[in-house]
Chains A and B, each alone.
Chain A
Amino acid sequence: MYKYDEYDQRLVDERVAQFADQTGRYLAGELSEDEYRPLRLQNGVYIQRHAPMLRIAVPYGNLRAEQLRTLAHIARTYDRGYGHVSTRQNIQFNWPRLEDVPEILGLLAGVQMHAIQTSGNCIRNVTADAFAGVAADERIDPRPWCEILRQWSTFHPEFAYLPRKFKIAVNGAEEDRAVIRAHDIGLELVRDAAGETGFRVLVGGGLGRTPVIGEEVAVFVPWRQILNYCEAILRVYNLHGRRDNAYKARIKILVKALGVPEFARQVEAEFAHLKDGPSTLTEAEVARVVGRFDDPVLAPLPPTDAAHEARLAADKAFAAWVRRNVRAHKVTGYASVVLSLKKHGVAPGDVSAEQFELVADLAEEFAFGEIRSTHEQNLVLPSVRVADLHAVWQRARAAGLATPNIGLLTDIISCPGGDFCNLANAKSIPIANAIQARFDDLDYLYDIGEIELNISGCMNACGHHHVGHIGVLGVDKNGQEWYQVTIGGEQGNRTALGKVIGPSFAAEEMPDVITSLINNYIDNRHDGERFLDTVRRVGVESFKTRVYAERDARQHAKEVINA
């Protein structure tokens, strides 16, 4: 991953000093609550249900072994022994004391980490494909571009007090694994007819209260101009985005109000002034950034390994894990391993201090010290020799990190929800755990096949429920926790928003509701058809009818028993 130079390090160190001073003045009563709030948010500190929550930036999901060791230390010393991978690839701690945050930031700075702009109305952590740099279907590695954007957006003096938060994602692969259509700016790396690298630019995507799929505002922005072009977008937004209503302040609302052509015209007019200006990138700068990624140099190995093949044949459990949790690598003889943070019964995305350390060990022994976090809330060892997979599996399994469920029903994306989050309408984690308990049989899970289930505790949609094949949204009904269900959402190249199937459900009904959906799929599916494809083919109505008919039957049965 990218290694800091003295300038990167100095900025992070200066930030630690700044935040220590600000927190000191706040605790001394010199800064009001209102004045301090955006300062702490721009350092990832939320005041939550139990304590402050600290969100640490993981730039485009890249981590090093030594960083995980520091996270383990923080989890033990300042938290209750665990951390949490968020749906934007960041890492959160739920229990630190505010007084300790400056010290924690100091420890993070020691391993080239920080919490800069992980919250607040500013440009947030830039995200990318967790398999960037190693994916077999990658056209252009997005990481150097993400790093260039990270530096441009870090402490940008003009864009620290935007109308609302602002998220950028970059994709360089055939399949979009960065959900670029659900970001304020989605950048797709492309080449023009002459082979020059550039960006297709989508603007105004986002989930939340008003989910919108981003729209194309530029077909091709040459790479040299990308900072100028982003600056133009941000300036138009900063000056004209709504500030009177937080729910209408995202750039998607401005794009809708102006219409895409008019918005694009305003951006072009601004860009005309900035084009070829000082922020125009140079070959030397891009080469410098690329050169600071200390990627391992991998020579192709034989595609198969006799010992590996023998173990696959002999050990069903290992074979199942390889099938579900191991992905193709661009270099022959290597693979990427997904370490599942979705062990049934554990909060999706939670990592204990011991697990952080084990993953650090595995990364150092088998994966060149590299780790990635995914927006599906798992961890990845991007480059592992095929011959080492069995050893990795055994150790991961012993640590509860090898549940072979990646991409299956129990690989649930879930926000922290009502157990931790102040904004929640309802709890998320217990719903995830109840569904995992219901579908605990692996053979059955494999039979159901690929499916994505996403849960958010409120319409802020941190759990990306709109784009889940099945989406679950916590809603408040007269002070009680209820759940609305959508089906047919999808992330990736064909990003689509799910459709609500009908009135919401009580928490205890949720496993039954999911069972009804799954049964309807199994009864209707064609050979090899995924849940999502069946929903598309037969329509939402069929699922809706099944779910509510079975619900009525259950209620009727209950009444009979109670009568």
Chain B
Amino acid sequence: MPEIIKNGRVQHDDWQVVRLAEGEAASATALPAGRVIVPLAAWLLRRDELLARADAGVLGVWLAASDDPAALAPDLLRLQLVAVDFPKFADGRGYSIATLLRTRHGYAGELRAIGEVLRDQFDYLGRCGFDALQPAPGRYTPAQLQAALASLATFSTPYQASATHPQPLFRRAHRPAAHEEAA
């Protein structure tokens, strides 16, 4: 069973990400039994068929970097898991998608980063609202994944407001004026 980082810990995980093969239609793809994360296109096409599984908490939806998170907005209350795919770690659209899901659409369930998910982006991913990080299978040894927990909060007091820090530093903390420090 693959290991992922969830809520700050390394955990076993049995969700399966369903990816469409080249040319495969979202309407036709077979879904395995058990917990599955389906592409947005499949969800939108087969919503009626899949609702029961979503309501049972065994079906999540993943967004591609080019997907508009607003498409999922009406369903966010019923979904326990939403994932965002990083086709390349340097493709930063997923950070905005996550931010929108959390801060605009009010999504409060599990938000998982999938695809090319690397340790050195954990801090930014976390602050944009991802609480589950699923590196590609085999990218990290168990020991490396454990060590990677250290990268979850590289910056202890970031300047900005974000999904995890609703207020920017200047509203969150008392920053001393110059004269307060002089003494």
* Chain A residues packing against B (C-beta within 8 Å): 3, 5-7, 10-11, 14-15, 18, 22, 30-31, 35, 38-39, 121, 151-152, 154-163, 227, 235, 238-239, 243, 273, 277-279, 281-282, 284-285, 287-288, 291-292, 294
Pairwise interchain contact A157-B161, C-beta atoms closer than 8 A: no
Give chain B interface residues in 97-134, CB to chain A under 8 Å. 97, 99, 104, 118, 120-121, 123-128
Contact B96 A235 (CB under 8 A): yes
Is B104 touching A159 in the complex (CB atoms < 8 A)? no
**Is the beta-carbon distance between A159 and B181 smaller than 8 angstroms?**
no
B11 partner residues in chain A, CB cutoff 8 A: none
Binds A, one of B15-23, B35-43, B163-171: B163-171
- Whether, in the assembled complex, B91 has its beta carbon less than 8 Å from a beta carbon of chain A, the answer is yes
Q: Is the CB of B95 within 8 A of A14?
A: no
User: How far is B168's CA from A162's CA once the two chains are assembled, in angstroms?
Assistant: 21
Residues of B within 8 A of A292 (CB): 177-178
B142 at interface by CB-CB < 8 Å: no
**B176 CB → nearest A CB, Å:** 6
Cα of A281 to Cα of B169 in the assembled complex, Å: 11
Nearest residue (CB) in A for B116 is A35
A291: B residues at CB distance < 8 A: 177-179
Known: A158-B124, A160-B92, A238-B95. 6 other contacts (CB 8 A): A155-B159, A155-B160, A161-B92, A278-B166, A288-B170, A291-B177
Query: A11-B159, A155-B158 known; A282 and B170 CB under 8 Å?
Result: yes
CB <8 Å contact, B160 and A279: yes
Are B178 and A158 in contact, CB atoms less than 8 angstroms apart? no
Evaluate contact between B170 and A158: CB separation under 8 angstroms: no
Q: For B156, what are the chain A residues with a Cβ–Cβ distance below 8 Å?
A: 10, 14
Quick check: B177 and A288 within 8 Å, CB to CB?
yes
Q: A7-B175, A31-B120, A151-B159 are in contact. Are A159 and B95 (CB under 8 A)?
A: yes
Residues on A with beta carbons closer than 8 Å to the beta carbon of B160: 152, 155-157, 279
Q: How far is the CA of A151 from the CA of B178 in the complex (A)?
A: 17
Within 8 A of A (CB), among B129-160: 144, 151, 154-160
Q: A3-B178, A278-B167, A292-B178 are in contact. Are A157 and B162 (CB under 8 A)?
A: yes
- Shortest C-beta distance, A463 to chain B (Å), equals 27
For residue B90, CB closer than 8 A to chain A, the reply is yes
| Minimum-distance CB pairs A-B, first 3 | A161-B92, A157-B127, A157-B124
The answer for the CA separation of A554 and B173 in the assembled complex, in Å, is: 71
- Complex: how many Å from CA A303 to CA B156? 51
Of A158, A243, A273, A279, chain B has the most CB atoms within 10 Å of the CB of A158
B170 touches A285 (CB 8 A): yes
> Cβ of B124: which chain A residues have Cβ within 8 Å of it?
155, 157-158, 160
Contact assessment for A35 and B89 in the assembled complex, using a CB-CB cutoff below 8 Å: yes
Q: With a CB–CB cut-off of 8 A, which chain A residues contact B176?
A: 5-6
Collect the chain B residues with CB atoms within 8 Å of residue A235's CB: 96, 99
Q: A238 contacts B177, CB within 8 Å?
A: no
A292 and B176 alpha carbons, distance in the complex (Å): 9
Distance A7 CA – B159 CA, assembled complex (angstroms): 9
Distance from B103 Cβ to chain A, minimum over Cβ atoms (Å): 9
Q: Which residues of A have CB within 8 Å of B162?
A: 157-158
Contact check, B91 vs A279: say whether CB atoms are below 8 A apart.
Answer: no
Name 21 interchain pairs, CB-CB below 8 A, sorted by A. Answer: A6-B176, A7-B175, A11-B155, A15-B155, A18-B151, A18-B154, A35-B89, A38-B90, A151-B169, A155-B158, A157-B124, A157-B158, A159-B92, A161-B89, A161-B91, A238-B96, A239-B93, A278-B161, A288-B170, A291-B177, A292-B178
Contact of B96 among A39, A239, A273 (CB under 8 A): A239
A39 near B91 (CB under 8 angstroms)? no
**Which A residue's beta carbon lies closest to that of B159?**
A151
Q: How far is the CA of A5 from the CA of B169 in the complex (A)?
A: 12
* A480 to B155 CA separation, bound complex (whole angstroms): 48
Chain B residues near A38 (CB-CB < 8 A): 90
Compute how far the CA of A22 lies from the CA of B168 in the bound complex, rounded to whole angstroms. Answer: 27
- Nearest-Cβ distance from residue B171 to partner chain A, whole angstroms: 6
For residue B86, which residue of chain A has the nearest CB? A161
Distance of A221 Cα from B91 Cα, bound (Å): 30
- Are B171 and A278 closer than 8 Å at their CB atoms? yes
Assess the B157–A279 pair: CB atoms within 8 A: no
Instruction: Determine the chain A residues whose CB is within 8 A of the CB of B181 once the complex forms.
Output: 5
Q: How far is the CB of B133 from chain A (nearest CB, A)?
A: 14
Task: Find the A residue at minimum CB distance from B118.
Answer: A35
A214 CB to closest chain B CB, in angstroms? 23
The smallest beta-carbon distance between A129 and chain B, in angstroms, is 23
Decide if B159 touches A154 in the complex (CB within 8 Å): yes
- Nearest B residue to A31 by beta-carbon distance? B120
CA distance A281 to B97 in the complex (A): 25
- Please measure, in the bound complex, the distance between the C-alpha atom of A15 and the C-alpha atom of B92, giving whole angstroms: 20
A227 to B120, CA, bound (A): 26
Contact B90 A161 (CB under 8 A): yes
Residues of A within 8 A of B95 (CB): 157-161, 238
Most chain A CB within 10 A, of B123, B161, B179, B181, is at B161
Question: Are B99 and A158 neighbours in the complex by a CB distance under 8 Å?
Answer: yes
By the criterion CB–CB under 8 Å, are B92 and A238 in contact? yes
Residue of A nearest to B181 (CB): A5
A162 neighbours in B (Cβ, 8 Å) = 92
Which one of A11, A239, A279 contacts B158 once the chains associate, using CB atoms below 8 Å?
A11
